[in-house]
Amino acid sequence: MTFAWALATYGHAIQVARGNRHAQVAGQRGDCILPACGADEHYRIADANGKGKTAPAMDDHTLRFIDLFAGIGGIRRGFELACAQHGRPSECVYTADIEPFACEIYRKNYPHDSHSPLNDVTRIDDYGQAMGRVDVVLAGFPCQAFSIAGAKRGFEDTRGTLFFDVAKIIEDRKPQAFILENVKGLVMHRGGRTLRRILEVLRYDLGYASTQFKLLNSLDFGVPQHRERIYIVGFRDGGGGFAFPRPTDSSKRIRDIVEPGPVAAKYYLSEGYLAAARAHRARHEAKGHGFGYEIRSWDDYAAAIVCGGMGRERNLLRDDRIVDRTPQTHIRSPINAENVRRMTPIEWERLQGFPEHWTEGVADTHRYRLLGNSVTVNVVKAVADQLVRELKDPQMFKPTEHGQLELSYELAASV
């Protein structure tokens, strides 16, 4: 029997602390674990029969959001595009990342921010002073393990991880909603126990009862890249009308993102490098590993772009449009005769849904790394579109006997 199922099935009293407000909600199946309504607040509490009040729609005030583990601003861009599509003003009131080159790119693309993006979420002394009112939290937090042995302390079990800092901000600022993003591996991390604890903290400890997650593939949202990532979305009020987006466009292929003209010779592999890559792959194949470079057809889609190891070599192309074969690097070996090249940073930007030249201004090595660490803007926009719709017209969330959280455990256990 899972911890969450025990909470939902047996009559445990759950104490939810929110600052100086406390609410005790019976743990009968069907109850929503949310703080009690204050005179100046609007919460939706459903009873065991699914009846309840729906929080009033938010007015059209500017959505104030924070961008944590922001990288080069991919989650922010997708969120802002969705807000603009709905005619909803938005304002980023706080950004946090500690990678200098990422912050340099972020500043370049968001020059009018009144705050610096170079901040450490683990070193915030006063959330209110740093952020003020926060309506939406955006965070691409890293996947980290935390202690789950012994007594289950809920929120405290995550102390020492960056998720803990995200959760503390959510607890303190009480946003209307959040979008959290992580790698696919979070689903199976430690046998699904990491994801399980994260969902329990968000739903039961912090009161975002409608929290749910889904794996989404960039390939289904208008870019030719097979890239699966987990998205976790929750609402403080409502959430019943939210549904993760369905695929919008799975037709794009590599030829749709290839630069229109010849690219610089520096992106072509030398004869020596290509020979070494082939030998490297052969060694791994002999061991049954199946690891190494891969030359993609222009009518294929790209593998997930990643920032380390053979990341750039997993999406090589044959491109006969080269006009100048003069090597532009210090490698003395000539350019390979098969015209095999890496994708350019602009092509990686397109694979991630960014405008061209988004990462311009730093060396190519950093551009590839930052893009490989980023999100696909198209996917975030599709998720945020559904979130903004729900905030505009919140619907009552009705817990089910075998809800999404329990299903998520089964999914994690089956991977």
Q: What string of DSSP letters covers 131-178? A: H-S-SEEEE---------SSS--GGGGGTTSHHHHHHHHHHHH--SEE
pLDDT in tens, 80-107: 999 999 999 999 999 999 999 999 999 9
Among 42-46, 189-193, 266-270, 342-346, where is mean pLDDT lowest?
42-46
Residue whose C-alpha is closest to residue 390's, from 172, 208, 234, 201: 234
Q: How far apart are CA 170 and CA 203, in angstroms?
A: 12
- CB atoms near residue 82 (< 10 Å): 21
What is the chain's mean pLDDT, rounded?
81
37 counts as catalytic: no
List where CATH 3.40.50.150 sits in the chain. 3-248+375-414
Output the CA torsion 129→132→134→138 (10° steps).
Answer: -40
Host H or E run for residue 198: helix 193-200
Kind of pairing between the strands at 225-226 and 177-183: unpaired
Among 99-103, 151-155, 258-262, 299-303, where is mean pLDDT lowest?
151-155
Give the pLDDT score at 299. Answer: 98
pLDDT at residue 31 is higher than 70: no
pLDDT in tens, 127-183: 999 999 999 999 998 765 544 433 344 445 455 588 999 999 999 999 999 999 998
**Spacing of C-alpha 119 from chain mean position:** 19
DSSP 8-state class, residue 306? -
Sign of CA dihedral 340, 346, 349, 350: negative
* Active-site position among 32, 83, 92, 143: 143
DSSP 8-state class, residue 300? S
| Residue corresponding to tokens 């009862």 | 209
Kind of pairing between the strands at 212-217 and 177-183: unpaired
Global confidence as pTM? 0.81
Host H or E run for residue 31: none
Residue whose C-alpha is closest to residue 374's, from 145, 218, 210, 196: 218
Residues in the chain, overall count? 415
The architecture in CATH of the region 3-248+375-414 reads 3-Layer(aba) Sandwich (3.40)
- Range 410-414, long-range pairs (CB < 8 A, 24+ positions): 411/187, 411/192, 412/187, 412/188, 412/191, 412/192, 412/193, 412/195, 412/196, 413/191, 413/192
- Using 50, 70 and 90 to split pLDDT, how confident is the model at 328? confident
The pLDDT > 90 percentage for the chain reads 62
- CB atoms near residue 162 (< 10 Å): 17
Which residues, other chains included, contact 103 with Cβ-Cβ below 8 Å and sequence gap of 6+?
A: 97, 116, 117, 118
